Amino acid sequence: MTDETHPVPSDPSHGFSLEYAPAPESTSVVTIADDYGLFIDGEFVEPRSDQMFPTVSPSAETHLANVAAASAADVDLAVGAARRSHTDVWGSMPGRERAKYLYRIARQLQERAREFAVLETLDGGKPIKESRDVDIPLAAAHFFYYAGWADKLEYAFPGRSVSPRGVAGQIIPWNFPMLMLAWKVAPALAAGNTVVLKPAETTPLTALLFAQLLQDVGLPPGVVNIVTGAGATGAALVDHPDVDKLAFTGSTAVGKQIQRAALARGVPVTLELGGKAAHIVFEDAAIDQAIEGVINGIYFNQGHVCCAGSRLLVQESIAEPFVEKLKRRLATVRVGDPLDKNTDVGAINSSQQLAKITELVEVGVAEGAELFQPDCVLPDSGWFFRPTILTNVQQTHRIAREEVFGPVLSVLTFRTPEEAVAKANNTPYGLSAGIWTEKGSKILWMADQLKAGVVWANTYNQFDPTSPFGGYKESGFGREGGLHGLAPYLSVGPMGGQIR
Ligand code: NAI
Ligand code: MG
């Protein structure tokens, strides 16, 4: 943008600058303890395992706190507490009373939204703009929404008897810690279940703050129990014989293990796993809006999104100018300190994830893809990855087949709608897809053909608690959100049954 006739002074002393001044969000609103125990039966308790592990800030690589690593014995205590509270209190509490607690949780989340957003960003690395405007408001919205169902289960399943399943074991990932907590905890509680939740090992802090919030709202002890730890803690929860229902969001590999374990015990399970979404742009699309949609689709939350639009399928007739525009737009994306209110792309969640992204992009280039990365300055410390566009990508490339879970877009082209469908569906996954075209009939035809649980048209990444979300094939099964998300937490009896 600078040329010889119109130099743009970047030094503020020249009077103006096109650089954004730093706009850091204050962290004074959060208090982080040195150590956190497990949240069992309404109290923070020391782990029987005596094991602790650190959680760090991905943007500064600094230590934040030590968190308990729950052993199988700790998980057993948590499940026992959940069972007792289900039998004695929560399972038989009238829905209208359960609803009051859920509304109280929702309101508290709103009141303390800034605290939760800052902590989410500190522990996970996502931009404060996103935790403030998306993660936390949506988490609260899920509690409000499911609070509304708690006393209306007979309308949800008319004429049927419904009863809670009992104790729900829930395992969540690190990409949307509070939002995934809300997706799982809110419907479970509304339906009358009690919960043992295992947060991800790199992002446990907001779940532990949520535990404090539950104490503040006076939720009866044992209704929600939170056991921190890594995969072994998750596996102990999956294998516990007294868990009645399992729900998991995470990698396909772990999802398959959990499915096997659940099948062996005959426990119902819902799995929300990876994705490799096609984001399809036709030549008749509103191009500028599509550019924004594609950028949001893949660079939102550093691309740590199961439904990320990681494969751009652009119609050949507009491919060249579209990709040029996309590159120009990408150059304006601000990468850096997640706590800065202007940051669009924050830190990669862990050094392992950064290594995975780096490796897959290197493989892509070695396989013949052409790499584009804007010339942005990355912070000196922390785990960061330049937002990336790979062109010349073939369907056989690993970069076109495997989930990168990072800010990396692979570009492919197509000529006809049939070819777009064939390429979009040519993946073991089936979670989401996006379509950009001015033609409504094309949208309907495409949406019908695409093997994806969620299809967005002329928009992307729209989430709402009333709308079910979930996948096909290796993206898992079962739905979260809406009535579909309530059903897995209930045993629904035959027609004519009594309502509890
Ligand atoms: P992961 O599947 O290992 O972790 C997700 C959760 O499962 C965490 O809470 C973890 O502690 C737990 N877990 C791990 N092993 C377990 C086991 N054997 N039994 C029960 N629980 C277990 O995912 P990870 O390693 O953090 O990420 C690897 C890749 O998985 C990512 O690069 C991404 O491609 C994908 N992923 C997809 C997510 C999604 O939203 N669908 C979320 C996180 C990761
Ligand atoms: Mg962390």
Structure tokens at 499: 């309502």
- Expressed in angstroms and rounded, the spacing between residue 200 Cα and the centre of ligand 1 is 8
- Expressed in angstroms and rounded, the spacing between residue 314 Cα and the centre of ligand 1 is 31
Q: How many whole angstroms separate alpha carbon 40 and alpha carbon 34? A: 19
Task: Select from 279, 285, 290 the least CA-distant residue to 437.
Answer: 285
Please tell me whether residues 309 and 202 are part of one structural domain: no
Please tell me whether residues 433 and 484 are part of one structural domain: no
**Structural domain includes residue 413:** yes
Domain assignment of residue 270, given as a range: 35-274+476-494
Please tell me whether residues 190 and 248 are part of one structural domain: yes
Task: Select from 169, 129, 94 the least CA-distant residue to 23.
Answer: 129
- Expressed in angstroms and rounded, the spacing between residue 229 Cα and the centre of ligand 2 is 12
Exposure on the CB side of residue 118, measured as CA atoms within 13 A = 13
Does residue 306 have an active-site annotation? yes
- Expressed in angstroms and rounded, the spacing between residue 59 Cα and the centre of ligand 2 is 10
Task: Select from 294, 327, 353, 292 the least CA-distant residue to 126.
Answer: 353
Please tell me whether residues 52 and 193 are part of one structural domain: yes
**Structural domain includes residue 331:** yes
CATH at 155:
3.40.605.10
**Structural domain includes residue 204:** yes
Nearest CA to ligand 1 atom 15: 231
- Expressed in angstroms and rounded, the spacing between residue 51 Cα and the centre of ligand 1 is 21
Catalytic position from the list 115, 306, 402, 480: 306
Task: Select from 366, 337, 329 the least CA-distant residue to 121.
Answer: 337
Catalytic position from the list 272, 402, 474, 480: 272
Please tell me whether residues 330 and 246 are part of one structural domain: no
Does residue 272 have an active-site annotation? yes
Contact indicator for 25, 340 with CB cutoff of 8 Å = yes
Closest atom of ligand 1 to CA, residue 476: 41
Ligand nearest to the CA of 201: 1
CATH at 382:
3.40.309.10
Please tell me whether residues 327 and 426 are part of one structural domain: yes
Please tell me whether residues 112 and 85 are part of one structural domain: yes
Question: 251, 265, 403, 469: which to mutate for ligand 1, most atoms within 8 A of CB?
Answer: 251
Please tell me whether residues 269 and 304 are part of one structural domain: no
Ligand nearest to the CA of 179: 1
**Structural domain includes residue 409:** yes
Position 411, amino acid: V
Please tell me whether residues 311 and 414 are part of one structural domain: yes
Closest atom of ligand 1 to CA, residue 238: 20
**Structural domain includes residue 16:** no
Please tell me whether residues 360 and 243 are part of one structural domain: no
**Structural domain includes residue 55:** yes
Give how many domains the chain has, as a whole number: 2
Q: Who lines ligand 1 at CB under 6 A?
A: 171-175, 198, 200-201, 230-231, 234-235, 238, 249-251, 254, 257-258, 272-274, 306, 353, 356, 403, 405
Q: How many whole angstroms separate alpha carbon 307 and alpha carbon 203? A: 20
**Structural domain includes residue 30:** no
Residue bearing tokens 């191009």: 287
Please tell me whether residues 290 and 149 are part of one structural domain: no
Please tell me whether residues 143 and 244 are part of one structural domain: yes
What tens-digit pLDDT sequence spans the chain (500 residues)?
444 444 444 444 455 556 789 999 999 999 999 999 999 999 999 999 999 999 999 999 999 999 999 999 999 999 999 999 999 999 999 999 999 999 999 999 999 999 999 999 999 999 999 999 999 999 999 999 999 999 999 889 988 889 999 999 999 999 999 999 999 999 999 999 999 999 999 999 999 999 999 999 999 999 999 999 999 999 999 999 999 999 999 999 999 999 999 999 999 999 999 999 999 999 999 999 999 999 999 999 999 999 999 999 999 999 999 999 999 999 999 999 999 999 999 999 999 999 999 999 999 999 999 999 999 999 999 999 999 999 999 999 999 999 999 999 999 999 999 999 999 999 999 999 999 999 999 999 999 999 999 999 999 999 999 999 999 999 999 999 999 999 999 998 887 655 44
**Structural domain includes residue 255:** yes
